[in-house]
Chain A
Amino acid sequence: MSAFNVASSPTVAVAEASRDDLAVTTIQPRRGWQKLDLGSLWQYRDLLRYLTLRDIQVRYKQTVLGAAWAVIQPVAMMLVACVFFGRLLGVAAKVPVPYPIFFFAGMLAWNFFAGAVNASSMSLINSAQMLRKVYFPRLILPIAAIGAPAVDLVISSLVLVVLMIWYDVALSWQFMLLPLITVSIVAAVLGVGLMLAALNVAYRDFRYVVPFLLQLWFFVTPVIFPVAIVPESWQWVVHLNPMGGSIEAFRAAILGTPMDYGAWAISTAASMLLLAAGLAYFTRTERRFADVV
């Protein structure tokens, strides 16, 4: 993670003063690339907690259907996909497991990714007032925005459990890899989310880019189709997509189908690069947020 360590002088440095035990904060202009300040993130962990809780509470308080919404939406998507892609386009024949469960497992991971990217890319401009009026580590906002989509993920995976029982899919040991796979998806979310959040502050037109980008991304990611339908010599391109190998791995871990570790590794590496780039851009531009937002 040295990509974003190309810092010039450390800037808002907090050092212990020997004279009277009070921390001294130095305020001066920051220029260029910045070091990632994990210490201040830790110091503000309670804010991260309450912002995450706020998003979750607000999400489930406001809608009449509440948690049901996290179930209805992917189920409806599944039904439509089964008819059009599974049956009419014949994708079901190229999948080793029943198409509904194949699609639903991929959809779970994708919905989390898309929801979290969307929420974190809007997090800064949605909290413009906070940015203008209070100091806190800016990274907290896009990170906290991931909480509500994560809860959605947990709720909609209940449907998956029902589907697995219905189709009699047994858990394999690969299921234990799920937390690791989730980490690589979260890395991709943060990479894209941080970058878009910072760009959104500077250039308001990015607000319109995000849904479009996610839509395109959906079609190049193996959610409705298996990677197997891509010619073998071109599959590496799919895996360069940070979500490509990860979604396949996510699905394999749940359904117990053969796991392509190489593909997952390539996607994870791509996610980590994205995360490094996102963090670098975010920490470089965050000093201007309050002036511009």
Chain B
Amino acid sequence: MTTAAIQARNLSKSYRLGSATSFGSTLRETLADATRRWFKQDANPTNGSKKDDTFYALRDVSFDIERGQVVGIIGHNGAGKSTLLKLLARITDPTEGRAEVRGRIASLLEVGTGFHPELSGRENIYLNGAILGMTRDEIRSSLDAIIDFSGIEKFLDTPVKRYSSGMTVRLAFAIAAHLRPEILLVDEVLAVGDVAFQKKCLGKMQDVVHDEGRTVLFVSHNMDSIRALCSQVMVLDHGKSIGCVPVDEGVRAYYHAMAEHEHLPLSQRPRARRCSHAPVFHALRMHTDQGETHVVACGGTLNIDLDLANLGDVTRGECALSIRNEHGQRVVMFQSQYHADLVLTGLSSTILRCTIPNLILAPGTYSIDLVLADQPEIIDTIERAATFEVVFADLFGTGKIPDATQGHVVMPCQWKLAA
């Protein structure tokens, strides 16, 4: 019998909503609460407030993960993926339940946590390494490997504030890739950085897993990297776990859960907990010249109407609409301020129309993610708010255009014999 690396029993995490945070955000509120309780002679104050506004980010989750497994964690926004990692990483305590973790744990919930812009690359390697739980000797012994992996040796003594964002990410990844814990918890961090470097990191992670027998828990929306890396997945849905299952089964369950959400009106879709604002997105409609539809011909015009509400307190509202392909990769984004300098202010509700005049996406299925920010804060976001189909159109009069396996977009060009 092998020993489980992680054994979790009935893990739950709840937050008290209402007063913005789990305990009063200002001293005045807390004092006011306390006096109110005093005068009410409430014998059991915590139970009283629990009834009102307890939100379970994670509910009664139990699982065993064997050593050497790479387990993907998938689920919709707000399903509890990040909360689960935070509990296992000991960043926050569970409200109920218990878990036993065998071996040293390192977590990578964000790339470059604690990086200081004024410090040089080298200084940041030591600082960030220590933050991630490495000792000075461990950092020293892998310093050359880290520098080599990052490919920034020329700028090692330059302050990080002069780095491009790409360089910063590479350096941060290089440090993280050289962590040597028995158990590694990774949140969706591979989503940033350029594709070539992502591949390099995935390769490195595969080495770590296969050669060194480490246990990895890996949160991602990208089903390709889940398939490439994981032996099992855990699907979370509204804070509950469907259990650890083989990858294909899990991915199917995930898509199934997502598809169920698609029947809900936007205002009732699950939101990430970090958005405490009242839902802004209420409805999305797509139409072309042919009327309301989910199918658009390649090269055609697509109009997307968004019904927005609860905008009363928004002063610098910017809406972003991004389109993902079947693999979960972002292909293109349309942003109201970038594209049209349109900033929402002083409106309570409105209809926002985004017109894409020449949709040159390759034929295939796409989904739309919505984000509304009251700059700089994101106040509402919905993943897979809707899906649509791009279908063949004879753009070049040749009867053929490239499909989604041959390229992301279909662009016109000229070919001729130049000899």
Contact = CB atoms under 8 A, between A and B. Distances in A.
Q: How large is the interface on B (under 10, 10 to 19, 20 to 34, 35 or more residues)?
A: 35 or more
Interface stretch (B17-25, B295-303, B331-339): B17-25
Given A23-B103, A291-B22, A133 B90 contact: no
Given A136-B133, A291-B92, A204 B25 contact: yes
B100 A26 contact: yes
Given A47-B131, A61-B118, 10 more contacts: A24-B100, A47-B133, A50-B130, A57-B118, A57-B119, A130-B114, A133-B109, A202-B24, A287-B93, A290-B86
Interface string B378-418: 00000000000000000000000000000000000000000
A292 interface: yes
A38 interface: no
Given A29-B94, A58-B119, A291-B15, A133 B110 contact: yes
B41 interface: no
B119 A291 contact: no
A284 B84 CA distance: 23
10 contacts: A23-B102, A24-B102, A28-B97, A47-B133, A51-B130, A54-B127, A61-B118, A129-B113, A130-B131, A133-B107
Interface stretch (A14-22, A101-109, A157-165): A14-22
A257 interface: no
A203 B26 CA distance: 5
Contacts of B258: none
B340 interface: no
A238 B349 CA distance: 61
Interface string B181-195: 010000000000000
Contacts of A134: 89, 91, 107, 109, 113-114, 131-133
A54 B116 contact: yes
B130 A47 contact: yes
B391 to A, nearest CB: 43
B315 interface: no
A50 B127 contact: yes
Contact of B98 (A26, A61, A133, A204): A26
A46 interface: yes
A25 B105 contact: yes
B90 A28 contact: no
Interface in B65-107: 86-105, 107
A85 interface: no
B27 interface: yes
Nearest to A285: B23
B123 interface: yes
B126 A50 contact: yes
Majority secondary structure of chain B interface residues (helix, strand, loop or mixed): loop
Q: How large is the interface on A (under 10, 10 to 19, 20 to 34, 35 or more residues)?
A: 35 or more
Given A130-B113, A135-B90, A51 B26 contact: no
B30 interface: yes
A206 interface: yes
B401 to A, nearest CB: 44
A198 B136 CA distance: 28
Interface in B1-23: 3, 15, 21-23
A92 B90 CA distance: 56
Contacts of A129: 110, 113-114
A94 interface: no
A287 B119 contact: no
A135 B89 contact: yes
B101 A127 contact: no
A290 B109 CA distance: 13
B293 interface: no
The listed residue with most B CB atoms (<10 A of its CB), out of A22, A58, A290, is A22
A292 B21 contact: yes
A127 B182 CA distance: 27
B98 A27 contact: yes
A62 B161 CA distance: 12
Contact of B92 (A26, A47, A61, A287): A287
A136 B131 contact: yes
The listed residue with most B CB atoms (<10 A of its CB), out of A20, A27, A44, A132, is A27
Nearest to B139: A46
A87 interface: no
The listed residue with most B CB atoms (<10 A of its CB), out of A28, A30, A49, A134, is A134
A205 interface: yes
